[in-house]
Structure 1
């Protein structure tokens, strides 16, 4: 049974949630291997700048501090044991005193939390550019929750309303009526996913389940895109750990593509799910020398796939 996050307590904001998902995704191949991770502040800012986020000096450090003060609780079953764990999202964070734009953010994930982050590959599958573009802190968390069940054999999540509020981190004294939670939290989040299913990788439907007149549970039904299903069937056999290559291995998750690159890729391969091609490309380049221009390399990969399909 994968670990289930049951509670999050702390001061973190919508942007903090996006930054955390981005950082986990960026150092994915280093999780459990390196203790301290480092990313240039300019590199982080570049990604967020493309989505019109605040890129003023210091925001990354302020966000990292809030993440270090935020705790997460989870439950899981190991064999016959039922475990309950707690940790902070960061066990360590540091940056240059002046938080310069050309500085580096250093951060560490608690050792006990790493298996929770890596199972069931919740952050590995997130479409980071889609997530960063989402509006609203609840929409970000709702997308993370729904993506975590998208690859289940039966991609349906039925959850008690009180537990869903905990997962979304809705304050106890806010939106206590279901009609308000639906209007201001659930419907806006579902709407953003369904307006761009190609970006999200799936569409979602929601149903309220009542006990008497009161809503007791919510059922989410996830429908993955046909192109995503087909791609995952193709690359599944290649997800096994590869034989160490003779060259220095490259972290495919460490390559960050710009939003403009995705636009060019869509033009180069209009008949494909670009995010599906991205997953295939990242899987293909693992263990190979890092491209001099990753953005151009990805667009070229998409162009070749389109030509191959047209030729038949």
Structure 2
């Protein structure tokens, strides 16, 4: 294993320290936690619903990279592939409460759901109005070793972007909850891997694939998928993923947003080739794409692969996706 690290047990604190020190105009660290909160001049002036997300580390720039004007108010980092603790989430909730309430965006993993619920109860005891939504956009498998139900993966970024823009616009907590639920219901993702991620504390890839194999339906924590196939040209992979995702929508009418997400080690060159093939295939099927984005947004350490997210959108959602933000990672 080759990693540019110091101490395996100190990776997350050192990462957060480096992130904050190099982006002090955007974020600050909440003392005695691995949570970061907005540090821009507008934050103290605005009275809007606070939005908090978080989860295990190893998926950067998710979530800390999306803290800033127009997206998240705070993000809480757990250990690698491990949920943050309730007390740290609780500190983030308190730090962003302006009296308008706080919305928690939680990926559907057992530890995340449990710990964010506990933090919510702690905050409610302080008379903070807190509500949560659960992102479960991964349609690859219904259950995995980390979840009961579908996993929350790269589509989480679209949810955070839309809700962040709506909160900045002045939407209430209840309005954001309903918007979030609608957005989640219209967001679907599948990931593929050519090589598993290596967790530093483990020291070897989480699973093995032969040189000519690719796995469909992997999760962002090295979870296995639904099939192993021989590697194929990008256009064939794009067609297989696009068609499987589209089949999960009740209808294919209307407009769509597309996210091609790198899993950590896939060059942008290959991501753009894959994105081009996805857009070509959707065009052939007369699917209207009004927003698209490519990049490493929700990674899995050094996994080699990509994920594809399709979101059915309306004009207002497109507007929110296009609005500028001040964050590290968008």
Pairwise same-fold verdict (TM > 0.5)? no
TM (norm. structure 2) is 0.24
- More helix, by proportion: 1
- More strand, by proportion: 2
> Which of these two proteins has the greater Rg computed from alpha carbons?
1
TM (norm. structure 1) is 0.25
